[in-house]
Amino acid sequence: MQLAKLLFTFSLMVALTSGKLVKIQNNRADGILLTLDGTEYTVLPNSLIQVTLADNWEGSLSAVPIGSEVTNGPKTKVNFAFSDTEDSYSVSLIEGFNLPIKVIPNDSNNCIVSTCAANILRACPLDKQVANSVGDVVACQNSPLVMVRLCPLAVVDELSSTLNTRHCNSATSYMIFRSLVLLVVVASSIGKVIKIKNGYSTDLLISIDESQYIVASNSLIILNPLNEWSGSIKALPVIAEVTTGPKTAVNIAITSTTDEYSISLLDGFNLAAKIVPIGSTNCTASVCAANILQACPIEDQVVNSTNVVVGCNNSPLVMGTLCPLAIVDADSVIQNSQVCSNSTGYMILFM
């Protein structure tokens, strides 16, 4: 089955005025059908709508692309419960997944992000997949073992409902984005340091969600310390002709208790990569050190204008053999997602 590319991007702001104003912005190239507590709203491409809700409103929102063949399948949900004293919110996969989403409290120093940043469609177990008539996987039914690994800050079952439902009494608004659109960096001296080193032969363009950094060969950058963060880090040569092809992903979810991290080839491969916990003697590195480009099946190769292979689409049999510690399919999500509770940070190496 081919995987549908759902490039869903919307933002939502709840402003604390008389009632609560909800702004929903659609940054997609096509429209979305947004369902807000049972009411449907059409949001045109690159447009915004506003809805006023009561101060004590409780409900959920979800979305599908306009024209989607499967409209009654599983959907990622954002749940809110507002009150005069404290709000609660969560990203919920209890009913399944169709789009990555992140919820960020604004103007608050002590309220925590809720997020599911991973594209679970690429790791959805076969028996949980929901496909359209041409075989594209467009949604994934609730699969706690896979979902808790890829989205440890989301609600996936009864236990995580208690752990991952956030509470906030100081936010002035909330922003909701498709996760990979927004990077939140908290400038603080407290947290875990992420070091990213370029061990490649030329300068690299490092992408952290939608932020980008140019890192010279054999140089490194250090991110501000992070307390609660979940996202992906990717790289490609600055001089690369093909910029939208497959990329090796380093996935990290940092929490106040336990971190999870992995090298993921679910979206394909372009560079060897490694992530090593800092300050820990019993946490395991995650690595894909092989140059899979040299062994990529012809049908999965991505080439530039001079016919040089610069990327390899997901090919589980080859990738699982050459990079046995990386995530290449649904089975390896559980096996190769590493967990660490005592690191002071992480070193990421692209090579």
Cβ(26)–Cβ(45) below 8 Å: yes
* pLDDT (0 to 100) of residue 189: 40
Cβ(86)–Cβ(150) below 8 Å: no
Cβ(273)–Cβ(261) below 8 Å: no
> Is-same-fold flag (10-181; 193-350)?
yes
Token couple for 193:
């340091």
Q: Which CATH superfamily is domain 193-350 in?
A: Thaumatin (2.60.110.10)
* pLDDT (0 to 100) of residue 269: 98
CB-based burial label for 17 (10 Å; 0-12, 13-18, 19+): exposed
Q: Is the entire prediction scored with pTM above 0.85?
A: no
Domain ranges of the chain: 10-181, 193-350
* pLDDT (0 to 100) of residue 175: 57
Token couple for 321:
């053999």
Cβ(136)–Cβ(113) below 8 Å: no
Q: Using CA atoms, how far apart are residues 330 and 93, in angstroms rounded to an integer?
A: 17
Token couple for 188:
């603080």
- What 295-301 contacts at long range (C-beta under 8 Å, 24+ apart), as own/partner pairs, is 295/322, 296/269, 300/268
Residue keyed to tokens 């690369």: 240
* pLDDT (0 to 100) of residue 224: 61
* pLDDT (0 to 100) of residue 301: 96
DSSP string of 223-270, one letter each residue: PPPBSSEEEEEEEEETT-S--SS---EEEEEE-SS-EEEEEE-TT-BS
Q: Which residues of the chain have pLDDT under 70?
A: 1-29, 46, 48, 106-109, 170-190, 209-210, 224-225
Average of per-residue pLDDT values in the chain: 82
- What 2-6 contacts at long range (C-beta under 8 Å, 24+ apart), as own/partner pairs, is 2/134, 2/135, 2/136, 2/137, 3/121, 3/122, 3/136, 3/137, 4/121, 4/132, 4/136, 4/137, 4/138, 6/65, 6/98, 6/99, 6/121, 6/138
* CATH, range 10-181: 2.60.110.10
DSSP state of 52: E
Q: Is 256 left (phi over 0), alpha (psi -120 to 50) or beta?
A: alpha
Q: Which helix (H) or strand (E) segment is 333 a member of? A: helix 330-336
Q: Using CA atoms, how far apart are residues 139 and 173, in angstroms rounded to an integer?
A: 29
